[in-house]
């Protein structure tokens, strides 16, 4: 059943140019970060670690959430338009499968974006001739970031499902991203969904931000992921369809 | 007779306003149930409740003898096709791709797509984007989607809305042919009595959320007695002649109206007039309008 739903979600994305945004948008923080790195070479210790801090600073704090928010908004806009809610909800599939299939599509997109961010990091570093050993731990950070990204994806899916507007949830994602810096500074970053990305990606920090806190990070991420997922399913089950 | 849909005491409120009130509906197997009512009478709301799209405030729904709840609901939906409100479609996908999505969701074999496309005569437009379809084509695409998976029950909400006359005719023929071809039961809503008259075997009339009539079409016809309008060369003489022969008639704006349209009375009346040398210009049977029937059933005037 779930496989069928996922197949449908993939079908719905046919002919869309969403991939262009997913490909294009991460290039911006990569370029910004690279220039920032080169401009601050007097204060930064040259090397991969600091290039990472500069690139992910922009990506995790400003670009990721709106980007995944855009993907989520697009997925739900397909249902909001042309009365598709009626068709979706009168199909013989349970609510949990509908939400999980959309989440699966977002997760797939997210993984591809994360790989792309990794590739951009490597390419930009090679381009400006960063030397010394490539930090293998960044792979772990990308993986942690993927989990954090899934939490934001689940939240954005919920928002875009409830809010019929296309732009509003994306604006909320942007505000959430900005708020994430504040939340992290206040020390409640691990419990604010939008902050998880910067913590997970270890952005703007050369040393591990989650030293000794990895378990909390994992528990918080998985917990919130489940919370947003269940919230979406519950909403779908309990609310009257407005097509 | 097997009951396909049965509702008991079905009620729905929207912000203190009761949209559907204590509705007891019964749809038998193999029938085409015409669900008649003016706009805003509660037809769409009822049909959405029958699909579980919105939840009733009160009352029970049984479809195929099973309650419309939880796992049973999915089981019921598997055997139900629907076309609710305006047709739904993914505009950036072709008609065929839209059907592929529904086909996958219903877990129906892919070859059925060709079958339903043929049935609604859309083979030639199947690769065009659905967003570029005319309303009639979207409506037919919706019907094709509803027919996927060989449903036992079909719910069609105003399927002829927005279609041109030939489209309406085509849709009617399609719907009428379904029970005979497949044993399907059809619930079709409309605000036009004439339309229901041409399609349905059974009729339910809903007015301000209340089901004010539910029976076979034949019984409705007893309610909707027609009149015969006669125009003659000499109205006054004609009226006198009919009265002399004890045929009840009245005159209105130069037209003679016969309330009794039984074959016997009509032959009698016309024969007497012809023998009296009065020329008959027009003899026209006038059906009672939906308004008239509403008036008769509810005793109050409704605006349509």
User: Residue B291: what pLDDT?
Assistant: 65
The DSSP element (H or E) to which A162 belongs, if any, is: helix A137-162
CA dihedral B87, B113, A85, B140 (to 10 degrees): 0
Give the mean model confidence (pLDDT) for residues B24-37. 94
Chain B residues closer than 8 Å to A89 by CB: 51-53
Calculate mean pLDDT across residues A152-158: 97
> Mean pLDDT across the stretch A24-28?
95
**What secondary structure letter does DSSP report for A62?**
I
Instruction: Assign 3-class secondary structure to chain B.
Output: CCEEEEEEEEEEEECCEEEEEEECCEEECCCEEEEECCCCCCHHHHHHHHHCCCCCCEEEEEECCEECCHHHHHHHHHCEEEECCCCCCCCCCEHHHHHHHHHHHHCCCCHHHHHHHHHCCCHHHCCCEHHHCCHHHHHHHHHHHHHCCCCCEEEEECCCCCCCHHHHHHHHHHHHHHHHHHCCEEEEEECCHHHHHHHCCEEEEEECCEEEEEEEHHHHHHHCCCEEEEEECCHHHHHHHHHHCCCCEEEECCEEEECCCCHHHHHHHHHHHHHCCCCEEEEEEECCCHHHHHHHHHCCCCCC
Among residues of chain B, what percentage have pLDDT more than 70?
96
Backbone angles phi, psi at A147, to 5 degrees: -65, -45
Q: Are residues B263 and B149 in the same domain?
A: no
- B287 pLDDT above the threshold of 80: no
Q: What is the mean pLDDT of residues B136-159?
A: 92
Looking at the predicted structure, is the pLDDT value of residue B241 above 80?
yes
B295 in a structural domain? no
Domain of A192 in residue numbering reads as 2-12+28-238
More confident of the two residues B99 and B301? B99
pLDDT of residue B303: 47
Quick check: B164 pLDDT over 80?
yes
Asked if the C-beta of B97 comes within 8 angstroms of chain A's C-beta atoms, the answer is yes
| In a domain? residue A54 | yes
In whole angstroms, how far apart are CA A179 and each of A13, A192, A194, A222? 31, 9, 8, 21
CB contact under 8 A, B84 and A86: yes
**In this predicted structure, what is the pLDDT of residue A213?**
84
Of B48, B75, B77, the CB nearest to A241: B48
Residue B284 β-bridge partners: B229
B101 pLDDT band, cuts 50/70/90, is very high
**Residue A55 forms part of a structural domain:** yes
> Cα angle at A151 between A150 and A153, to 5 degrees?
60
Residues A32-64 as b or e (16 or more Cβ within 10 Å = b):
bbbebbeeeeeebeebbbbbbbbbbbbbbbbbb
Range with top average pLDDT, A106-120, A196-210, B194-208: A106-120
The residue among A12, A87, A234 with the most chain B CBs within 10 A of its CB, best to mutate, is A87
Check whether residue B165 and residue B279 sit in a common domain.
Answer: no
Which pLDDT does position B143 carry in this prediction?
A: 92
**Whether B83 and B52 share a structural domain:** yes
Whether B104 and B15 map to the same domain: the answer is yes
Q: What is the CATH number of the domain that holds B149?
A: 3.40.50.300
Compute CA distances A127 → A22, A47, A122, B236, whole Å. Answer: 22, 13, 9, 105
Question: Cα(A169)–Cα(A70) distance, rounded to whole angstroms?
Answer: 8
Instruction: Answer yes or no: is B61 within a domain.
Output: yes
Q: Do B72 and B102 sit in the same domain of this protein?
A: yes
A20: in domain: no
- Chain A residue with minimal CA distance to B157? A86
In a domain, A103, yes or no: yes
With cut-offs at 50, 70 and 90, classify the pLDDT of residue A158.
Answer: very high
Is the same domain home to B160 and B66?
yes
User: CATH number of the domain that B251 lies in?
Assistant: 3.30.70.260
pLDDT at B298 over 80: no
What would the mean pLDDT of B25-44 be, rounded to a whole number? 92
Instruction: Tell me whether residues A4 and B55 touch, CB distance under 8 A.
Output: no
Mutate which: A9, A18, A85, A92, vs B, most B CBs within 10 A: A92
Mean pLDDT taken over chain B = 89
Give the number of other CB atoms < 10 A from CB of residue A27. Answer: 14
pLDDT of residue B289: 66
State whether B90 and A15 contact (CB < 8 Å). Answer: no
Name the DSSP class of A41.
T
Q: Which of A163-177, A218-232, B115-129, B214-228 has the lowest mean pLDDT?
A: B214-228
Q: What is the pLDDT of residues B168-192, one digit of tens each?
A: 888 888 888 888 878 899 999 998 8
Q: What is the DSSP letter of A164?
A: -
Chain B residues with CB-CB distance to A93 below 8 A:
74, 105
* In a domain? residue B166: yes
In a shared domain, residues B208 and B108:
yes
pLDDT the model gives residue B285? 87
A-facing residues of B in 125-154 (CB < 8 A) are 145
pLDDT over 70 (residue B299)? no
> Can you tell me which residue has the tokens 């086909």?
B103
pLDDT(B227) > 90 = no
| Same domain flag for B244 and B218 | no
Q: Which of A18, A182, A177, A5 is nearest to A103 (CA)?
A: A5
Mean pLDDT of A57-80: 94
Domain C-terminal end among B222, B237, B254: B222
Gyration radius from chain B CA atoms: 23
pLDDT for the residue B301: 53
Q: At residue A84, what are phi and psi to the nearest 5 degrees?
A: -70, -15
Which of B53-67, B171-185, B209-223 has the highest mean predicted lDDT (pLDDT)? B53-67
Query: Do B175 and B137 share a structural domain?
Result: yes
pLDDT at A136: 85
Mean pLDDT value of segment B223-227:
76
Q: How confident is the model at residue B100 (pLDDT cuts 50, 70, 90)?
A: very high
Determine the pLDDT at residue B290: 59
* Total domains, chain B: 2
CA separation for the pair A139, A58 (Å, rounded)? 18
Query: What pLDDT, on the 0 to 100 scale, is given for residue B182?
Result: 82
- Asked whether residue A17 is domain-assigned, the answer is no
Rounded-to-integer distance, Cα B254 and Cα B251, Å: 6
Q: What is the C-alpha to C-alpha distance for residues A82 and B129, in angstroms, rounded to an integer? A: 14
Q: B204, B197, B207, B266: which is closest to B38 by C-alpha?
A: B207
Q: Is the per-residue pLDDT at B300 higher than 60?
A: no
In a domain, B137, yes or no: yes
In a domain, A63, yes or no: yes
Say if residue B48 is in the same domain as residue B174: yes
Of A8, A81, A243, the CB nearest to B101: A8
Q: Is residue A135 part of a domain?
A: yes
Nearest to A46 by CA among A113, A154, A133: A133
Residue of higher predicted confidence among A92 and B286: A92
Is residue B299 a part of any domain in this protein? no
Q: Best interface-test mutation with B: which of A7, A91, A97 has the largest number of B CBs within 10 A?
A: A91
Boundary (domain end) residue, out of B222, B250, B268: B222
A5, B66, B86: which is closest to B74 by C-alpha?
Answer: B66
In this prediction, residues A19-48 reach a mean pLDDT of 91
Q: Give Rg (Cα) of chain A.
A: 19
Q: Which residues pair with B82 in a beta bridge?
A: B155
Please check the confidence at residue B302 and state whether its pLDDT lies above 60: no
Q: Give the model's confidence band at B194: pLDDT under 50 very low, under 70 low, under 90 confident, else very high.
A: confident
Q: Are strands B26-28 and B66-67 parallel, antiparallel or unpaired?
A: unpaired
Q: Residues A140-161: what's their mean pLDDT?
A: 95
Please list the residues that pair with B227 across neighbouring strands: B286
| Residue A21 maps to a domain | no
The total of structural domains in chain A comes to 1
State the average pLDDT over residues A1-16. Answer: 92
On whether residue B293 sits in a domain, the answer given is no
Say if residues B36 and B290 touch (Cβ distance below 8 Å). Answer: yes
How high is the mean pLDDT of chain A?
91
Shared domain for B201 and B269, answered yes or no, is no
The residue range of the domain holding B86 is 3-222
* Continuous segment of H or E residues that includes residue A81: none
Specify whether the CB–CB gap between B29 and B195 falls below 8 A.
Answer: no
What pLDDT score does B220 carry? 81
Please give the pLDDT value at position B304: 45
- DSSP SS3 for A205: coil
In a domain, B292, yes or no: no
Q: Do A91 and B77 touch (CB under 8 A)?
A: yes
B248-273 pLDDT, tens digit each: 998 988 899 998 888 999 999 999 99
ipTM: 0.89
Q: Is A59 left (phi over 0), alpha (psi -120 to 50) or beta?
A: alpha
Among A52-66, A99-113, B217-231, the range scoring the smallest mean pLDDT is: B217-231
* Average confidence (pLDDT) over B9-37: 93
Same domain, B206 and B242: no
């Amino acid at each position: 059943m779930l496989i069928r739903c996922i197949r449908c979600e993939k079908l719905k994305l046919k002919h869309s140019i969403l991939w262009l945004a997913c490909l294009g948008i991460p290039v911006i923080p990569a370029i910004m970060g690279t220039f920032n790195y080169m401009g601050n070479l007097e204060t930064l210790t040259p090397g991969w670690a600091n290039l990472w801090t500069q690139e992910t600073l922009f990506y995790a704090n400003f670009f990721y959430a709106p980007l995944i928010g855009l993907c989520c908004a697009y997925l739900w806009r397909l249902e909001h338009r042309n009365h598709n809610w009626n068709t979706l909800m009168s199909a013989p599939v349970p609510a949990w499968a509908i939400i999980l299939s959309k989440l699966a599509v977002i997760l797939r997109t997210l993984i591809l974006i994360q790989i792309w961010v990794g590739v951009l990091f490597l390419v930009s570093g090679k381009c400006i001739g960063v030397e010394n050993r490539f930090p293998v731990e960044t792979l772990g950070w990308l993986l942690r970031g993927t989990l954090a990204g899934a939490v934001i994806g689940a939240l954005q899916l919920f928002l875009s499902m409830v809010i019929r507007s296309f732009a509003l949830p994306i604006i909320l994602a942007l505000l959430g991203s900005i708020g994430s810096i504040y939340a992290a500074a206040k020390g409640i970053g691990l419990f604010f969904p939008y902050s998880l990305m910067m913590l997970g990606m270890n952005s703007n920090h050369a040393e591990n931000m989650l030293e000794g806190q990895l378990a909390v990070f994992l528990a918080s991420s998985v917990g919130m992921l489940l919370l947003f997922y269940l919230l979406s399913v519950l909403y779908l089950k309990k609310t009257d369809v407005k097509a | 007779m097997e009951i396909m849909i049965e509702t008991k005491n079905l009620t729905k409120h929207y912000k203190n306003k009761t949209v559907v009130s204590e509705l007891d509906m019964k749809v038998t197997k193999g029938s085409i149930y015409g669900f008649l009512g003016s706009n805003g009478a509660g037809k769409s709301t009822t049909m959405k409740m029958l699909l579980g799209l919105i939840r009733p405030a009160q009352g029970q729904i049984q479809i195929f003898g099973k309650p419309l709840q939880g796992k049973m609901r999915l089981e019921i939906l598997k055997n139900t096709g629907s076309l609710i409100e305006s047709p739904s479609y993914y505009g950036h996908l072709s008609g065929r791709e839209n059907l592929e999505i529904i086909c996958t969701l219903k877990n129906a074999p892919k070859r059925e797509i060709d079958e339903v496309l043929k049935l609604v005569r859309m083979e030639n437009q199947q690769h065009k984007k659905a967003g570029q379809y005319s309303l009639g084509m979207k409506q037919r695409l919706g019907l094709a989607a509803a027919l996927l998976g060989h449903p036992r029950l079909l719910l069609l909400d105003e399927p002829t809305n927005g279609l041109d006359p030939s489209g309406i005719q085509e849709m009617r023929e399609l719907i009428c042919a379904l029970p005979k071809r497949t044993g399907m039961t059809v619930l079709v809503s409309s605000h036009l009595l004439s339309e229901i008259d041409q399609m349905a075997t059974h009729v339910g009339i809903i007015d301000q959320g209340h089901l004010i009539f539910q029976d076979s079409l034949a019984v409705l016809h007893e309610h909707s007695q027609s009149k015969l309008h006669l125009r003659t060369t000499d109205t006054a003489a004609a009226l006198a002649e009919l009265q002399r022969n004890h045929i009840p008639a009245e005159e209105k704006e130069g037209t003679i109206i016969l309330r009794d349209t039984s074959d016997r009375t009509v032959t009698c009346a016309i024969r007497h007039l012809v023998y009296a040398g009065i020329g008959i210009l027009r003899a026209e049977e006038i059906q009672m309008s939906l308004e008239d029937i509403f008036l008769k059933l509810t005793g109050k005037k409704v605006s349509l």
